[in-house]
C-alpha cells in the first residue's frame, strides 16, 4: 500500500485513434489535484500504426496481439523514460477489443515489462476487475473529472465531453464530495467520434484525420444516412453503456456512396447527434459542457454541438485544463488511487454493482514500496 501524502505520478494514454502516446505528470494524493507537471507525446509511425490497426479485435495470445503489445511497450518505454521525476506510473495500454456485455476487455501491453525498463512501479490493467464484477469497464476517467471539477472551483453540475476515437460523457455534481457517492457522477460512451472519421480520411484520402474540419466544412449532411444511424439500438439503451472502437462500422457503410466532403460532414453530424442523445440522460441540465480530446479541434463538429445543445459548449482549456493531456492525467490519478486501495469506478460510471478499485501493480524486482513526494 502506498504511503499517504502527495505523489508525482505519470499517466500514459494510447487511445482508439491510434495516433500516439500521451504522457503527463500529476501531483495528487489520490483525492485532490495538487499540481500539474510536464507532458509529452510520441506519435506512432506509419508502420507502427499498421501493426496496431491489424491487431484490432485480436484476443490475448494471438500473434498480431503480441506484435501490437511490442509496439505499445516500446513506444511507451521510450516516452516515459523521459520523466525521471515520476514515482509511480499509470499505464493504460492499447485497447484491442472491448466487449463487457460478454465479460471481455483487452488492452495490449505488459506493465511488468515497463516496470523493469523504467525501474519504478507501474499500475496497469485498469479495466478487467470492473468487467469481471459486472461493470462496463469504461469510461474510467470520470473519477478524475470529478477531481477536475473541484480543482476549477465548479459549484454546479457540468459535463466533461471527451471526443476521442469514441465519445464519452461525464456528468459531474461537484457539490457531492466523493466521486463514488450516489449522485456524484453519471458517465457512459455516447457513440463513435473521431475513429470512423479518421478511418474515412485514411481510406479515401490517405490522411490520418480531417485537419481543422477542412473536408467536412465543404460538405452537406445526408439527413437520410443520419436518421438511419440514429436508429441504431445503442441509442435506446440506458446508461451504463460502453463501446468498442469498431462497434459502429455501419457509419462507413451509410456514407459509402457520398462524396468525401458529404461523407465527412455526415459523420460529424452523427458524432454530434450521438452526444445530443446522450445529454438526454443527464440527471440535471449542466451549466456548461467542457470538451476534451481531438474532436474539440474540429470546428465543424464543435459548431454542430453548440447549435444542438442548450448550454455553452467550450474547449476545456477555457476552464484552465489541458484538453490534450486530460486522459493521461486521469491514469496518473487513478494509479495513485489503485496504489492506495481507493475505488476507481462506481455504479454511476460503469454500472458495477458497488464501488471497486481496478488495476494491478507491477514493481521492479526487489522494490517493495515508493516514498511520498517531499
Domain limits of the chain?
A: 7-136+353-362, 153-319
| 8 A C-beta contact, residue 44 and residue 18 | yes
Peptide bond into 278 cis (omega under 30): no
> Which pLDDT does position 265 carry in this prediction?
98
Closest listed residue to residue 65, CA positions, set 111, 108, 103, 105:
108
Q: What is the mean pLDDT of residues 166-188?
A: 97
Handedness of CA 294, 205, 250, 62 (dihedral sign): negative
Task: Decide if domain 153-319 falls under CATH 3.30.420.40.
Answer: yes
Q: For 290-303, how does the pLDDT look when each residue is reduced to its tens digit (9 = 90+)?
A: 999 999 999 999 99
**Confidence class of residue 369 from pLDDT cuts 50, 70 and 90?**
very low
What is the full DSSP assignment across 30-42? SSSEEEEEEEEEE
| 8 A C-beta contact, residue 65 and residue 55 | yes
Pick the range with the lowest mean pLDDT from 72-76, 107-111, 318-322, 365-369.
365-369
Rounded Cα–Cα distance for residues 168 and 246 (Å): 15
Residues present in the chain in total: 374
Rounded Cα–Cα distance for residues 30 and 175 (Å): 19
Q: What is the mean pLDDT of residues 89-103?
A: 94
> Which pLDDT does position 370 carry in this prediction?
44
Q: What is the DSSP letter of 175?
A: T
In 10 A of CB 367, how many CB atoms? 11
The rounded mean pLDDT for the chain is: 94
Q: For 232-261, how does the pLDDT look when each residue is reduced to its tens digit (9 = 90+)?
A: 999 999 998 988 877 888 898 999 999 999
C-alpha cell at 290: 467542457
**At 101, is the secondary structure helix, strand, or coil?**
helix
| 8 A C-beta contact, residue 7 and residue 372 | yes
Rounded Cα–Cα distance for residues 195 and 106 (Å): 18
Q: For 275-289, how does the pLDDT look when each residue is reduced to its tens digit (9 = 90+)?
A: 999 999 999 999 999
H or E element at residue 176: none
Task: Decide if domain 7-136+353-362 falls under CATH 3.40.710.10.
Answer: no
In 10 A of CB 353, how many CB atoms? 10
**At 248, is the secondary structure helix, strand, or coil?**
coil
**Do 7-136+353-362 and 153-319 come out as alike in CATH topology?**
yes
C-alpha cell at 171: 456528468
Q: Is the pLDDT of residue 23 over 80?
A: yes
Amino acid at each position: 500500500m502506498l504511503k499517504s501524502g502527495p505523489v508525482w505520478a505519470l499517466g500514459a494514454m494510447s487511445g482508439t485513434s491510434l495516433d500516439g502516446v500521451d504522457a503527463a505528470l500529476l501531483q495528487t494524493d489520490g483525492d485532490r489535484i495538487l499540481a500539474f507537471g510536464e507532458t509529452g507525446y510520441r506519435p506512432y509511425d506509419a508502420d507502427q500504426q499498421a501493426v496496431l490497426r491489424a491487431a484490432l479485435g485480436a484476443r490475448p495470445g494471438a500473434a498480431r496481439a503480441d506484435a501490437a503489445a511490442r509496439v505499445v511497450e516500446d513506444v511507451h518505454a521510450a516516452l516515459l523514460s523521459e520523466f525521471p521525476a515520476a514515482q509511480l506510473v499509470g499505464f493504460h495500454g492499447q485497447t484491442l477489443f472491448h466487449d463487457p456485455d460478454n465479460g471481455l476487455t483487452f488492452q495490449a501491453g505488459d506493465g511488468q515489462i515497463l516496470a523493469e525498463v523504467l525501474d519504478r512501479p507501474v499500475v496497469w490493467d485498469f479495466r478487467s476487475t470492473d468487467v469481471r464484477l459486472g461493470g462496463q469497464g469504461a469510461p474510467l476517467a470520470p473519477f478524475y473529472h470529478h477531481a477536475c471539477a473541484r480543482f476549477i472551483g465548479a459549484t454546479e453540475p457540468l459535463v466533461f465531453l471527451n471526443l476521442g476515437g469514441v465519445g464519452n460523457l461525464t456528468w459531474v455534481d461537484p457539490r457531492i464530495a466523493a466521486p463514488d457517492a450516489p449522485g456524484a457522477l453519471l458517465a457512459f460512451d455516447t457513440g463513435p467520434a473521431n475513429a470512423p472519421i479518421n478511418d474515412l480520411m485514411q481510406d479515401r484520402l490517405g490522411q490520418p484525420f480531417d485537419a481543422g474540419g477542412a473536408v467536412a466544412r465543404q460538405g452537406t449532411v445526408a439527413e437520410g444516412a443520419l436518421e438511419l444511424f440514429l436508429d441504431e439500438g445503442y441509442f435506446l439503451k440506458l446508461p451504463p453503456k460502453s463501446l468498442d472502437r469498431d462497434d459502429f462500422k455501419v457509419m462507413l457503410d451509410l456514407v459509402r456512396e457520398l462524396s468525401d466532403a458529404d461523407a465527412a460532414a455526415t459523420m460529424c453530424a452523427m458524432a454530434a447527434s450521438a452526444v445530443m442523445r446522450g445529454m438526454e440522460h443527464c440527471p440535471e441540465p449542466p451549466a456548461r459542457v467542457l470538451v476534451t480530446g481531438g474532436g474539440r479541434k474540429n470546428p465543424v463538429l464543435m459548431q454542430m454541438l453548440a447549435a444542438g445543445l442548450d448550454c455553452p459548449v467550450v474547449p476545456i482549456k477555457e476552464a484552465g485544463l489541458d484538453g490534450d493531456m486530460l486522459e493521461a492525467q486521469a491514469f496518473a490519478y487513478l494509479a495513485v488511487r489503485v496504489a492506495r486501495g481507493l475505488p476507481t469506478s462506481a455504479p454511476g460510471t460503469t454500472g458495477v454493482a458497488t464501488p471497486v478499485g481496478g488495476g494491478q501493480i507491477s514493481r521492479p524486482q526487489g522494490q517493495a514500496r515508493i516514498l511520498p513526494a517531499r
